[in-house]
Homo-oligomer: A and B are copies of this chain.
Amino acid sequence: MPRRRPAGRNPDELDHESADEQIDIHDAPDPATATPEQARKYNNRSVERVVSMLNVLQESPEPMSLVEIHRSIRMAKATAFRYLWTLEKHRYVERDGDGRYRLGLGFVGMQSRDLEVLQDRARPWLERVRDETGETTNLGVLDGTAVRYVEVAESPRTVRMVSVRGSRDPLYCTALGKAIAAQLPAGQVAELLEQVDLKPRTGNTITSTDRFLAELDAVRRQGYAVDDGENEEDGRCVAVAILGTRLPAALSVSAPSSRFTMDDIPAVAARLGEIAGHLAGEPSGHRTDRAGG
């Protein structure tokens, strides 16, 4: 008989609660096959709390006090204190002059190597396209059943689409997601679709599996994917997949619908296609392997 948590078992109980977690980006914990019941089987509270703590600090624009942290993660103050003490020792968090906590320098360089290489190569192109179009330009990769924005060049305009680097959006309602999904094996797409609920985010959101699969066909035919107000009411977005890399990734430009019309899309898509070609080909540099000296 597995014990239940006395404090209740809402999905947001342990994870810091920002409203966006309702989006159900969560997929099955994965290790090969895991039913919802097994989901908590190997869960380790300590590990989960460390993760929550770091996430909460990441999302906070300014440093947090011990009390703020312990309240937002729902752990005893003393425990949070010990956790933070240890994290500080290892430089995962640091404290400002007032003793408040923020992320430390321990994370520098901490990401998968393939991704880092892709990011480094894509960054200048994103900025170039941002400057050419004046609109926000993104690099996204598949992360579970969602797409994660790993690099963003933001539009300078006051009315603009904002993507937060490190944040995620669902696959089924974003241009990035469609562009990526269109390049995946059919079996994998089916798996992903099983795990997500095609909730309408706007009136335009695709909410049926069949329609989504048909959309992917269209994406493959025309070579680019469009999100026409399917994720954000007044946003339009076009994306092109990056092939030839081990990561399922794509580039996109997103802008307010009012100034980014369907007529504008093909030209931008073509430009993104060029760049995806550059990123797909051979590395311009040759330092893929061993980073250790």
Contact = CB atoms under 8 A, between A and B. Distances in A.
Interface residues of A, number: 82
B42 A292 contact: no
Contacts of A102: 112
Specify which of A89, A165, A287 lies most central, judged by the most chain B CB atoms within 10 Å of its CB. Answer: A89
A291 B5 contact: no
Contacts of A107: 107, 110-111
B167 A85 contact: no
Given A4-B97, A110-B107, A112-B104, A47 B166 contact: no
A3 to B, nearest CB: 7
B292 A61 contact: yes
A153 to B, nearest CB: 10
A90 B52 CA distance: 9
A94 interface: yes
Given A83-B47, A85-B42, A61 B98 contact: no
B156 A85 contact: no
Interface in A20-35: 29-31
A92 to B, nearest CB: 6
B291 A85 contact: no
B154 A287 contact: yes
Nearest to A47: B86
Interface stretch (A11-19, A176-184, A214-222): A11-19
Interface stretch (A141-149, A202-210, A258-266): A141-149
Contact of A164 (B86, B156, B163, B291): B291
A47 B46 contact: yes
A194 interface: no
A164 B94 CA distance: 22
Given A92-B51, A97-B4, A113 B61 contact: yes
A19 to B, nearest CB: 17
A112 B141 CA distance: 22
6 contacts: A8-B99, A10-B88, A13-B89, A14-B90, A29-B89, A105-B143
Given A42-B82, A110-B110, 6 more contacts: A29-B88, A30-B89, A31-B85, A44-B86, A61-B289, A103-B111
